Amino acid sequence: MMPRDFALAALNRADSSQGFQKRYLETSLEENPGLSDRDRAFIVHLVQGVLRWQIRLDWIVKQAVRFPFKNIEPLILNILRLALYQIFFMDRVPESAAVNEAVKQARGACNKRVAGFVNGILRHICRERDRISFPDPGRERDLYLSVSYSYPLWLVEKWIGELGPDVAERLLDAGNRIPHTVIRVNTLKTDRQGLLERLNEEGVTGSTSVYSPEGVILQGLKGPVNRLTAFKEGLFQVQGEAAQIGSHLLLPRPGDSVLDVCAGMGGKSTHLAAMMEDKGLILALDRSRSRLISLLQSAIRLGEGPLNPVVADASGPLSTFLRYSFDKILVDGPCSGLGVISKNPDTKLTKRVEDIQRLARLQATILNQAVHLLRKGGRMLYLTCTISREENEGVVEGFLERNSEIALENLKSTIPEWGLDLIDDNGFFRTFPHIHGMEGFFGALFIKK
């Protein structure tokens, strides 16, 4: 199978769950170890690029066809998207190569008639590429931003309403940048300088992150990060900088008892274990058994002991089966993920405006269940990777109204000095891709009186 065929297969996997194509592609590449690093990078670039720019690519197709856009079969549409992404966003791929490969894919998957349609549409677009009609920025500002930056119109309108047009446009632009791979040094085994030296020995250059004291930004990485000997030896974990900072907000100490309510793959659980010097108790709760298995595998690789996985739904009555009060609780609940679009561009395509309220209600439910397990004087951190008032301040306000024994702590009084400018005037942790060069996160810290 050729690299473009791998990319097409991933895009054809219709699934509305966030990150599905990425997970499918990772599995597909693992099952084909004979692919070169160059081909692997090309495949990932194609899939992520099409997802990142799909709304704009579809607009271009709509200008070129003389029948309803919805009548184009999904398979043919993905062939067109792949070719157009190469034509408009990949300078090193000649137009003729992109068109010819698309025609081959259409001929192999369908028939000569469809292949002729693909050939005609793509060659027409290539001839007219400098005369393609886009929305007028003066008369249709929101639609212009939606098409130009390839975001759904509802999200453009939402961010303009919350942040203003100029800030919103900078945020849209930042979300389209291809992110660097960021890792966190495992302080149980080495320090940041030691890790940088080990990476350099393997031909990988790293630089220190701006804020997180454990963060390293990788450059010159060829191939999957898990091929590195430093990874296999447990010297680091892949984790974004904003997520790393989130763990510091909870102020974990050696000997603490900690509940990670929505532990997922365990990035924050393993970070908390390292910050606690592997002393204490961490209960990692998630409703997915497979995610918890991955968490345990990471913990073993990192050499961590105090992690205890529990399969459970955090939105259910946790206190009915957990008869224990915790010093610290982390609630990194399911959210819309609008702050990590650069890493998960399919978020633009899978999330809908109605998801925001639904997720806000779910987050509030999880918080109200988890608070019963917090001891008096204990702290609970609410963390999201989204830029959405309903899921952030709205959830915090509703939670405080419902729980009179809970007070909000101003994070300026607890965060280390290196993170002070990440705390807003209301005492919330807040990062933005266009300002801080990292994922968009929100955090609020509560204490039980």
Separation CA 233–CA 249 (nearest Å)? 28
Question: In this predicted structure, what is the pLDDT of residue 250?
Answer: 96
- Pair type for strands 326-331 and 257-260: parallel
Q: What is the spatial distance between Cα 63 and Cα 278, in angstroms, rounded to a whole number?
A: 59
Closest CA to 298 of 381, 235, 215: 235
Per-residue pLDDT of the chain (449 residues; tens, 9 = 90+): 788 998 998 898 765 555 666 777 777 777 777 788 888 889 999 999 999 999 999 999 999 998 999 999 999 999 999 999 999 999 889 999 999 999 999 998 877 788 999 999 999 999 999 899 999 999 999 999 999 999 999 999 999 999 999 999 999 999 999 999 999 999 999 999 999 999 999 999 999 999 999 999 998 788 889 999 999 999 999 999 999 999 999 999 999 999 999 999 989 999 999 999 999 999 999 999 999 999 999 999 999 987 999 999 999 999 888 988 999 999 998 999 999 999 999 999 999 999 999 999 999 999 999 999 999 999 999 999 999 999 999 999 999 999 999 999 999 999 999 999 999 999 999 999 999 999 999 999 999 99
Output the pLDDT for position 447.
Answer: 97
Q: Please confirm, yes or no, whether 262 is among the known catalytic residues.
A: no
**Beta-strand relationship, 326-331 and 374-384:** parallel
Contact 446, 379 (CB under 8 A): yes
- Secondary structure string (H, E, C) spanning the chain: CCHHHHHHHHHCCCCCCCCHHHHHHHHHHHCCCCCCHHHHHHHHHHHHHHHHHHHHHHHHHHHHCCCCHHHCCHHHHHHHHHHHHHHHHCCCCCHHHHHHHHHHHHHHHCCHHHHHHHHHHHHHHHHHHHHCCCCCCCCCHHHHHHHHHCCCHHHHHHHHHHHCHHHHHHHHHHHCCCCCEEEEECCCCCCHHHHHHHHHHCCCEEEECCCCCCEEEEECCCCCHHHCHHHHCCCEEECCHHHHHHHHHCCCCCCCEEEECCCCCCHHHHHHHHHCCCCCEEEEEECCHHHHHHHHHHHHHHCCCCEEEEECCCCCCHHHCCCCCEEEEEECCCCCCCCCCCCCCCHHHHCCHHHHHHHHHHHHHHHHHHHHHEEEEEEEEEEECCCCCCCCHHHHHHHHHHCCCEEEECHHHCCCHHHHHHECCCCCEECCHHHHCCCCCEEEEEEEC
Distance CA 211, CA 233 (A): 25
φ, ψ of residue 240 in degrees (nearest 5): -65, 155
- What's at 121, amino acid-wise? I
- Residue 146's nearest CA partner among 117, 175, 189, 109 is 175
Residue 324 burial (C-beta neighbours within 10 Å; 0-12, 13-18, 19+): exposed
The residue with tokens 């259910």 is 316
Enumerate the β-bridge partners of residue 238: 183
Can you read off the two tokens belonging to residue 380? Answer: 């609970």
The answer to whether residues 157 and 418 touch, using CB atoms and an 8 Å cutoff, is no
Given a contact cutoff of 8 angstroms between Cβ atoms, the answer to whether 150 and 346 are in contact is: no
In the numeric block, the tokens 């408009």 are attached to 88
133 close to 328: Cβ distance less than 8 angstroms: no
Choose, from 126, 262, 335, 385, the residue flagged as catalytic: 385
Distance between CA atoms of 84 and 225, rounded to whole angstroms? 29
Report the Cα 309 to chain-centroid distance in Å.
Answer: 23
Q: What sign for the dihedral angle of Cα 207, 209, 214, 216?
A: negative
Domains of the chain, each with CATH number or no CATH = 3-131 (1.10.940.10), 141-175 (no CATH), 181-238 (3.30.70.1170), 241-448 (3.40.50.150)
Q: Which two tokens stand for residue 273?
A: 């274990």
Cα–Cα dist 119/107, whole Å: 10
For residue 390, what are its two tokens?
Answer: 């309903």
